[in-house]
Structures are given as structure tokens and as C-alpha cells.
Copies of this chain bind each other. A is one copy, B any other.
């Protein structure tokens, strides 16, 4: 394998790996085809790093935990953090289940959701409130006057519903076995 090719393969391996890669792992991959000695591999990684540096790339290869990993330069961290905030995250299954319970049983108090789901839902209810999928719609007239929860307009929008009457009937969901 030519030096150029070796370098490219190592770059592809590091690029696609989420964990740091040790030299032995890289040696093993290369051995299938032709081979690269430990020192050749180290040299190739050094070359890649100088290339990234010279052409002002936003990432570099770091030597960490006995292996090598491609990471972004620290100065771009602020943007990446913003990205994670603005990226639409999908609702988790427990969130969806909780949301479904609120949607079909609203207005409902937290204790009743927990009675159905069998687990504490503090964290999930908090997230759903933050994400504006549910809102506090009042208090229930029982001792302690707990908050009643209901779905929001954002909820309707998110699921493409005109109004709550458009919620799928339980029997329709069962047709696709979405609910058991």
C-alpha cells in the first residue's frame, strides 16, 4: 500500500469511528490488504494532522486513552452546543406514552399518569411542559389540589392534528398494533 493510500484509509477509519482507535486495531484492518507498520501508521497520523493544520480544518486527530480520535477544535464548541439546542430532538418512547395518556385522558393529574404507567413521571412531565407539549390547565378539587395537565396547541401542530377529535381512536391504533 502506498503511503498516500495508507493515510487515506486511516483517515476513513478515524472519521467513521466514535471511539478512539488503537494502533493494533488499525494494524489489523490494514493487514487484510497490504500492511502498515506501527511507525508508518504513526507517521501517517502525524501527516494528517499537519495537513489539517495547514489547511485550517476545524478538526484534528488527538491521541487519547491509548488511541487516536478525530475531534473538533475547542474554538467551535460554542457553535456545536447551540446546534444541539436548536436541533429538533425526537420524543422518547416514555415521553410519547406519557403524552398519549395526557392526550386521551385530559385533564389529568400526575398521580393518575403514574398509576397508568407504573413509574414516576416527574422528569418526563417537566420535559413535556418545557417543550410546550402539555400545560397546566387548572387544579383538581381534591385534597392537595394537584395540578391538572392537558395538551397544547403545539401538541396538535406537532402531530398534524386539526383538533383533539382528530386523535386516532384506540381501535385504529390497534389496527396497526401501535398499542398492544
Q: Chain A residues in contact with chain B, CB under 8 A?
A: 4, 8-9, 11-13, 15-17, 19, 21, 25, 28-30, 32-33, 51, 55-59, 70, 72-73, 76, 78-80, 82-83, 86-87, 122, 125-126, 129, 136-139, 147, 160, 166, 168, 172, 175-178
Contacts and interface: CB of A to CB of B under 8 A. Distances in A.
B58 A51 contact: no
A57 B51 CA distance: 10
Contacts of A30: 79
A178 B129 contact: yes
A120 B132 CA distance: 28
Contact of A58 (B8, B17, B56, B80): B8
One complex includes copies of this chain to the number of 2
A177 B29 contact: no
Given A17-B83, A166-B139, A76 B126 contact: no
A15 B71 CA distance: 8
B122 A72 contact: no
B55 A51 contact: yes
A168 to B, nearest CB: 7
A176 to B, nearest CB: 5
Given A126-B177, A166-B139, A172-B147, A13 B56 contact: no
A122 B17 contact: no
